[in-house]
Structures are given as C-alpha cells and as structure tokens.
Structure 1
Amino acid sequence: MKTISAVPSRRDYWAQQMQLGYDLIQQVIPFEVHECGEGFASLPDAAERAGIEMQFSESKIAGELERVFFIREGLVNKLMDIGRAMNDRGWILKIEDGYRSQDMQSQLVRKPELFDAILKKCIWENDGQLPPTELVFRRATVLIANIPKIGTHMSGSAVDISVFRRDDGSEVWRGNPYLEMSERTPMRSPFIEADDLQNRLEITALMEAHGFMHFPFEFWHYNQGDAMGNILSGHPAPARYGPVHWDPQTNRVTPYDEPLRPLNPLDAIEQEIAAATQRATTSI
C-alpha cells in the first residue's frame, strides 16, 4: 500500500525551507572561487543587437538606486539564447534585476517593504512573538543575500526574471508576481496551483538548458558560474565568478576584500527590527 505523505503546515514548510536555504548557504561559504576578472556587458544593448524582444524592470531597487542590467560578458549570449527561445515560444523574458553593487545589496536588505515582509513571517513563525535577531538575520541571509559571497547578483552572474506572453502581454503566472516573501516563494511550494507550478518548472527547464541554475528558495532567481551555481549544478571545480566591485567607466572588476563579512551585521538587523516594529505600530 502506498503511503500518502501529508503536506506540512504553511508555517512548518516556511521554517523547513528557510533552514534548507541556510544549509545550502553553509555549503557556498567555503566553496573555492578563482575570480576570472571578466568584465560586464549590457543586456538591453545585447537584446537590441540580436533583435530579441525582452523587457526590463523600470522600478528602483531601493531608495533612488536604479537597477543595473549588466552581467558578466561570458553569460550574455546564453541569456540571449534564452530570450530568443522564449520569443519562439510566444513569451517575453523580463529581466527584473542584474548586477548589484555593495551599496545596492546592503540597502536592499534594509528596504522597508522587503524587511517588513520577512519580519512579519518570522513573527508568524515564532508563534506571534517578536523573534530573536539571529532568526531574522538567517532569514534575510537566505532571501536577500546579506553576505557578498552568496550574493550572486554581486558577482554579476545572476538575474531575477519574470515572463510575459507576446500576444496579449499577460504574465506567465507563477503563483505570485516578483517579489514574494512567503511560503509560496520556494520554487516547488505546495501552496500554489498546479498550473502555476508547471509554469515555474517550464521556465526553469528553459533557463537551466542554458546553464542558469535556479535558486530553490526563490522562484525568480537564476545564476551561473559562481559558487552557488557550481554547487547546484554539481560542478566541483572552483567558480569563475565571485563578488566584485565593478567600474562601469573602465569595465574592470575588483574582488571583494572580505566576501564573507555580512553587509548588515546583527546589530544593524536589530536596529532594522526596531524600525520595522515602529512602522507597524504607527500604521495601526
């Protein structure tokens, strides 16, 4: 007789997935990186030259910071191949985000809309009580990469994406729009409709056919050639891409001096918890 495994509660699933994400990060931290020094290239320019219909987010990443639609030169043609394959299928690839500088990533962790959503889930996870700072730190590390070594956007080796239909402009629905911070966020969440899961998996199959691996705990994030990507693809060789400072004027990259140093340490997260609590109190 076959045993039917019960779906965990939403809260248990959230906690389990976030712990699995943190466990994966622990594998990434010691993974060897031999930074290749490769420069960056513009995705909008590449799409225009190739005649590929592609969209790019018009929102700010945090505060007044514009999104940077550049990634490593060695990955651009692969992403163009993906965009072309999506066009042939009647889809349009939308790039929500590309490279992030240290300042961009640091501010993103503290962005009120995102931080408040994560804190709200942590309070829910903690039976309605304000959680320990360490718990919020871990969840933010999984969902917004609070450590440069694991922040594949900071390596210029990742994109966040959405997908739309060419005929009517509607989104190829994945259960939620970009961004979502909940138990519905992991790629294979059991709390989305079957059709939405199918869309996620079909998009992922197309991305991974060109080497862009999915981060299992976010349905919009894909990366390649960095420590995370090598682990997810089972490639044991040192990664080519690590977190870098990029000079757009010279197209030169400089590796981070301290890639394992948190962008927002525990005391900063504690301050953000206090600020988020104050915002919640004020809005009541």
Structure 2
Amino acid sequence: MHTISTNAYGADLAPIPSLSGPEWPHVSHIAIQECGERLLPMSLAPSPIKVFPAYARLGIPGAIPECFVREGVYRALLAAARSLPPGVHLLVLDGWRPWRVQQYLFDTLHEAIHHNHPNASEDELLARTREFVSLPSRDPAAPSPHLTGGAVDVTLCDADGLPLDMGTLFDEAIPASHTDHFEQLGELPPSQQQVRDNRRLLYHAMQQQGFTNLPSEWWHFDLGDQLWAHYGGHRQACYGPAELDTIENRWRRQIS
C-alpha cells in the first residue's frame, strides 16, 4: 500500500500517481491559442534556481548555452523553487530546444534502439523512441513540446549545486526513468526510499505550480503546451512553436 512519507527534509509527500503515456494523435490535435509570451533566459532567475544547460555542456550539435522558457514558465519555476525545503534547490537542465537539437536526440536514440534490437519493426522503434524523445516537429499545429518554451527539464540539487539522487541520470532511456517507477517496487531499502521521496518532492513542487509531468520522464514537466493541456484536462494550449529573438530577427522587423 502506498503511504505518505516524511523525507529527510521533513516534508510530507504523497505518492506519485501512475499515468499512461500520452496518446500522441490526440495530443497533436489539441488546439493552440498562442498567447505571445516571450522567451526568457533562466540564468536571470535568483536563488533558489540553478541553471545547467545540459545539452550545450554535452556538446550536442546546435545546443545553446542557456535555458530559455516562456515567461509564465519562468515565474512558475521560481514559485516551485521557493516552495522547496531549506537547502534544496531547483536545477534547470533544459527548456526551449532548437529543432536541430530535437532532431539529433530523436535520431540518436532511434539508432541506439535499432542497434540493440535489429529485428524490431519501424513501428516498434518509433514507439520506443517516442517514449523518451518526441517527434521533431515545427508544425504550428503540433510542435515538439520543447520547441514551444513550455516544456522544461528539471531536477533537485543541494545548496552546493550537487544533484540529488533521483534513481537515474537525466535522459536515461530506461524503465527506471518512469516517474512512478519507485512507487511500484513495494518495500524499499533506505537508499531507494530517499530516491522515491526526492522524486515525490520534485513532482509535487512542480504540480502545485500548475505543471504536468510526462510519465516516462521524472525530469520532464510542461506548462501551457499541448502535453500540459492533455494531462491537465485543458481545452486548449497557449504555447505554440517559439523562436529566440535574435539580433538578425530584430533588424529584419525594424528595417523597412
């Protein structure tokens, strides 16, 4: 039986609910009423937010050395971070993602799965790839979540910036990365209880600020995009595909 736990920080944490993966055909048909919010760099945020643009640090082609999110996401992340117990910080790993990076991640994971399962059909490969990386899409009616600036990848860290143990690394494409994984294992040793409680702490801090979670990834949360509308029961999304406001784009708009 799942029970509310009190973790090392003294917070009462309810179990993470078990949800099914997204029905992508349904998600992609959710209407988007673009609200026009700007993208903001998370490096502007004060403590207790910390920022580590993981893909740029890993040398992923096309990755940018910053984590941009929509303004509403920025403010909700700050609120989530401020709700955490003393000594625990929110660490932002990725936000708005260039299409080129989305394509690279999808192709790389698809190739890795095909290498390990050479007899799998294309439908099977696609399903397993989409479990952890969404289809690269710039379609205004069905963009990749990270292309909207509404999807964000986060974890928890201590006051020194060291990530807490969440049971898997960020972006590990394995069953243990499913958000509810440790809720399903029954009696846990103390080390795994701490992992479970760390996930609970992150999940509830984000949920209380309006975020929804992608069930296959404990680190992935959405606000305002189609996945958020799907899991939050909203009639429409408010974030479509977004682009950075570069100097080149500004000049093109300003010069007549």
Which TM-score band (shorter chain)? 0.7 to 0.9
Q: How far does the alpha carbon of each residue in 1:146-197 deviate from its partner, in whole angstroms, 9 at most, with x for none? A: 143262111100111121111x654321111112111112111136834322
Q: Which of 148, 154, 161 is the equivalent residue of 2:147?
A: 154
Q: How far does the alpha carbon of each residue in 1:77-107 deviate from its partner, in whole angstroms, 9 at most, with x for none? A: 1111222233x53112111111012112112
Matched ranges for 1:210-221 at <5 A? 210-221=209-220
Contact 2:63–2:97 (CA under 8 A) maintained in structure 1: no
Paired with 1:214 and 1:63, the residues of 2 have a C-alpha distance of 27
**CA distance 1:174–1:120, shift in 2 (3 Å):** farther
Paired with 1:34 and 1:61, the residues of 2 have a C-alpha distance of 34
Paired with 2:59 and 2:228, the residues of 1 have a C-alpha distance of 23
Contact 2:63–2:98 (CA under 8 A) maintained in structure 1: no
**CA distance 1:194–1:63, shift in 2 (3 Å):** same
- Structure with the higher helix share, 1 or 2: 1
Give the gaps of 5 or more residues in structure 1: 3-16, 124-128, 252-284
Match in the other structure for 1:13:
none
Q: Which of 53, 62, 71 is the equivalent residue of 1:57?
A: 53
1:138 and 2:137 aligned: no
Aligned residue type for 1:203: L
Q: Which of 172, 184, 190 is the equivalent residue of 2:164?
A: 172
1:163 and 2:146 aligned: no
Contact 1:92–1:165 (CA under 8 A) maintained in structure 2: yes
Match in the other structure for 2:7:
none
Paired with 1:195 and 1:43, the residues of 2 have a C-alpha distance of 28
TM-score (norm 2): 0.75
Secondary structure, aligned partner of 1:89: coil
Deviation at 1:116, TM superposition (A): 4.8
Paired with 1:146 and 1:209, the residues of 2 have a C-alpha distance of 28
What RMSD over aligned residues (CA atoms) do the two structures have, in Å? 2.8
TM-score (norm 1): 0.69
Paired with 2:47 and 2:175, the residues of 1 have a C-alpha distance of 38
Match in the other structure for 2:205:
206
Paired with 1:53 and 1:32, the residues of 2 have a C-alpha distance of 32
- Percent identical: 24
Paired with 2:28 and 2:59, the residues of 1 have a C-alpha distance of 25
Number of residue pairs matched by the alignment:
221
Deviation at 1:131, TM superposition (A): 0.4
Choose 216-225 or 36-45, whichever is displaced more: 36-45
Paired with 1:75 and 1:53, the residues of 2 have a C-alpha distance of 13
Deviation at 1:51, TM superposition (A): 4.3
Matched ranges for 1:238-253 at <5 A? 238-249=236-247
Paired with 2:112 and 2:204, the residues of 1 have a C-alpha distance of 29
Contact 1:67–1:98 (CA under 8 A) maintained in structure 2: no
Contact 1:54–1:83 (CA under 8 A) maintained in structure 2: no
Contact 1:185–1:217 (CA under 8 A) maintained in structure 2: yes
Match in the other structure for 2:194:
195
Q: Which of 182, 185, 193 is the equivalent residue of 2:177?
A: 185
Contact 1:165–1:171 (CA under 8 A) maintained in structure 2: yes
Contact 2:43–2:66 (CA under 8 A) maintained in structure 1: no
Contact 1:102–1:154 (CA under 8 A) maintained in structure 2: yes
Paired with 2:75 and 2:242, the residues of 1 have a C-alpha distance of 21
Aligned residue type for 2:123: E
Deviation at 1:136, TM superposition (A): 0.9
Q: Which of 73, 93, 97 is the equivalent residue of 1:96?
A: 93
Give the gaps of 5 or more residues in structure 2: 2-17, 251-256
Contact 1:94–1:162 (CA under 8 A) maintained in structure 2: yes
